[in-house]
Chains A and B, each alone.
Chain A
Amino acid sequence: MGWQLIESQTLQASAASVTFSNIPQTYKSLKLLVSARSDLSANYHNFFSVEFNGSATGISQRKLEGYGGGTVGSNSNTTNTGTVPAAGATTLTFGNYEITIPNYSSTTSNKVTSTDLVTENNASGTYSADAWLQAGLWANNAAITSIALIVQNSANFVFGSTFTLYGLA
């Protein structure tokens, strides 16, 4: 059948987090598409964390990142994050984040994710924009029934940010 819409959320006011709950267990894979911006003042970008089933443990990720101007790198850490433009970035500009979760309903395997992320900003400073390829691991056999995106640094996603969850049947 292809990608089927499970749920879409568009913020009518700023929000510190967005959650998809009671995710149907009937698909083969999930894909979450995000178009968002943060209100963190004076920064080009701000981070958000991604949690499954309310858990912030057992998480790791590996990333290939580019920031323009020849700056490129790769790193690993124990959080599952994305980033979006913040208040210091070009106005009216939202970043895009796409995470794919195959076999999310399995109860016999850890969950591995694949993420592509971009932000753009009409500026030339280092770290003024981002392009990431990322692999994530949630070392947990539980089926994923909820996904939460939580803005860091005590900031919010802004009005108009959209979050759309699809299932692949």
Chain B
Amino acid sequence: MPTPTYTLISETVLGSSSVDIVFNSIPQTYKHLIIESLAQDARTGGNDFNVQFNSDTSSGGTNYSITFVRGDGSTASSGRGVNTYAINFGQDAGSNQGYFSVITGTIFDYTNTNIFKSTLSRGSHPGGSVSATVGLWRSTAAINSIRITGNGYNLSAGMIVRLWGVVG
């Protein structure tokens, strides 16, 4: 049997809309984590796929930051968010649009207690924005839980999030 490279830790498929999706008690035995999602929220056109770690889930938090490149179908842009309360992995599709956007992201070295935690994500919303984003969580804590929200909009029924562990 070939050696596994990715292992599915957990999969959530929303049966009804929800304010968030949370993965708790994440095993500390992998090298990196990967989030893979077909994402949708209640906002017309879709809102942010926001990611927070451990207990750092306050809407008033300041321990995250991002830098991104983005195209919306007519304009290319790049920007930064500093002292934010979450990492925006990309744009959800909206519940009015009949499809889900693809969001993928890697959380590197998530158990390392000597570094702040970095993420690299891609967002692909065929009616919204295409993006690549680097994120930083300014904490040396090992990541044992992940919370995903729609930045104030409920996540839609049918939304799928898979958490993979990368063997290393």
Contacts and interface: CB of A to CB of B under 8 A. Distances in A.
B122 A64 contact: no
A29 B75 CA distance: 30
A156 B104 CA distance: 32
Interface string B72-95: 111110000000000000000100
Given A100-B104, A103-B38, A112-B102, A74 B73 contact: yes
Interface string A126-148: 00000001111101000000000
A136 B126 contact: yes
A102 B102 contact: yes
A1 B102 contact: no
Chain A interface, >50% SS class: strand
Contact of A75 (B73, B98, B122): B73
A110 interface: yes
Interface stretch (A44-52, A55-63, A89-97): A55-63
Nearest to A136: B126
Chain B interface, >50% SS class: strand
Contacts of A72: 76
Pick from A1, A113, A114 the residue with the most CB of B within 10 Å. Answer: A114
A62 B127 contact: yes
A145 B129 CA distance: 28
Given A2-B5, A3-B5, A75 B74 contact: yes
Given A133-B71, A168-B6, A64 B131 contact: yes
Contacts of A137: 99, 126-127
B35 to A, nearest CB: 12
A142 to B, nearest CB: 14
Contacts of B100: 109, 112
A136 B132 CA distance: 15
B126 A133 contact: no
A16 B67 CA distance: 40
A62 B130 contact: yes
Given A74-B71, A74-B75, A112 B124 contact: yes
Given A1-B7, A134-B124, 20 more contacts: A1-B4, A2-B4, A60-B126, A62-B71, A62-B125, A64-B130, A72-B76, A74-B70, A74-B76, A110-B99, A112-B38, A112-B126, A133-B71, A133-B124, A133-B132, A134-B130, A135-B101, A135-B125, A136-B124, A137-B99
Interface of B: 2, 4-8, 36, 38, 69-76, 93, 98-102, 104, 122-132, 158, 160, 162, 167
